[in-house]
Amino acid sequence: MSAVTQDSAVRTGRVTRVFIYVVLLVFALFYLLPFFVMLVNSVKPLSEITGGNMMALPKVWTIEPWLSAWSTAQVGVEPTGLRPYFLNSVMMVVPAVAISTVVGALNGYVLTKWRFRGDSVLFALMLFACFIPFQIVLIPMARVLGILGLAGTVQGLILVHVVYGIGFTTLYFRNYYASFPTELVRAAMMDGAGFFRIFWRILLPVSGPIIVVSVIWQFTNIWNDFLFGVSFGGTSQPMTAALNNLVNSSTGVKEYNVHFAGAILAALPTLVVYIVAGRYFVRGLMAGSVKG
């Protein structure tokens, strides 16, 4: 190949790369446009929103909408801020994520390294649970929570999300452990290691990527859940239900700046999680797909 042909190929490659980057940048900006609108209007006075351009930067910057959304938004004299419900979401998410991840890891371990008759059927049933719509389980779940005395409590919401999330976490860990060398497990058995010792000393130390996937998946689903929170939360509703109440409680003029600020506050934890651990989430998914 001549030098001219090589130079032409290099220039073509650079042009193609620049074109791809430009297209990706345009799509990224388009995707982030709603967030930009929310963020910009959350620091504007209401008069600039109702009488101006929602895409324009604020003429007067203010954090009052954020303070109102967090703790001082009122209808008459009743506070409707998000602060009291933030703790409910944290108290619900942390145990639910931890329990569903641990149970999913144990299920994946059992279904791959401790085979038994009917294990494939059991896994198929658990996998089927991943595709059951939320709406179908509302009445049976309400009945169960009523019998257990957990209706309208944070503990009831934890139970709901653990039960609904076990199918997903089991799928992740089962696929991840499927190609892990069974010989190591059998060798540990011959050396006298028991069920939990094998899990704790052999499988768990190499489960970092899939643990990250399970935690992020469960955290995102549970934190963003609205249907279960409204249906079973009672006086212990999570932040998403409180955001809905905040938006629908406005009478007269809608406080769009407060609503935008509240939406960002409700989405902020999941946004931080993906910014901090998003790359590990992708790596964990890829590792699970290769191993499965």
**pLDDT tens per residue, range 166-199:** 999 999 998 888 878 888 888 888 888 888 888 8
The answer to whether the beta carbons of residues 223 and 291 sit under 8 Å apart is no
pLDDT above 90 for 136: no
More confident residue, 248 or 159: 159
pTM score, whole prediction: 0.82
More confident residue, 11 or 184: 184
User: pLDDT value at position 5?
Assistant: 67
pLDDT above 80 for 128: yes
The answer to whether the beta carbons of residues 89 and 238 sit under 8 Å apart is yes
pLDDT above 60 for 228: yes
β-pairing, 74-75 with 78-79? Answer: antiparallel
User: pLDDT value at position 156?
Assistant: 92
Chain CA centroid to CA 116, Å:
33
pLDDT above 50 for 205: yes
Residue 104 to residue 248: CA distance in whole angstroms? 38
State both tokens at 33.
């446009």
User: pLDDT value at position 80?
Assistant: 59
**H-assigned helices in the chain:** 3-41, 46-50, 64-67, 83-113, 119-129, 138-148, 154-177, 182-190, 195-198, 208-224, 227-232, 239-248, 256-291
Whether domain 83-291 has CATH 2.120.10.30: the reply is: no
User: pLDDT value at position 22?
Assistant: 94
More confident residue, 108 or 182: 108
User: pLDDT value at position 280?
Assistant: 74
pLDDT above 70 for 6: no
Q: Domain residue spans in the chain?
A: 3-79, 83-291
The overall average pLDDT reported for the chain is: 84
According to the per-residue pLDDT averaged within each range, which of 93-102, 173-182, 228-237, 276-285 is highest? 93-102
Q: Which residues pair with 78 in a beta bridge?
A: 75
pLDDT above 90 for 50: no
Separation in Å, CA 224 to CA 181, 201, 291: 37, 34, 30
pLDDT above 70 for 97: yes
Closest by alpha carbon to 173, among 219, 125, 126, 109? 109
Label residue 135 by pLDDT band (50, 70, 90): confident
Say how many CA atoms lie within 13 Å of 30 toward its Cβ: 6
Residue 163 to residue 252: CA distance in whole angstroms? 42
Tokens 């799928």 -> residue: 171
The answer to whether the beta carbons of residues 177 and 105 sit under 8 Å apart is no
Label residue 143 by pLDDT band (50, 70, 90): very high
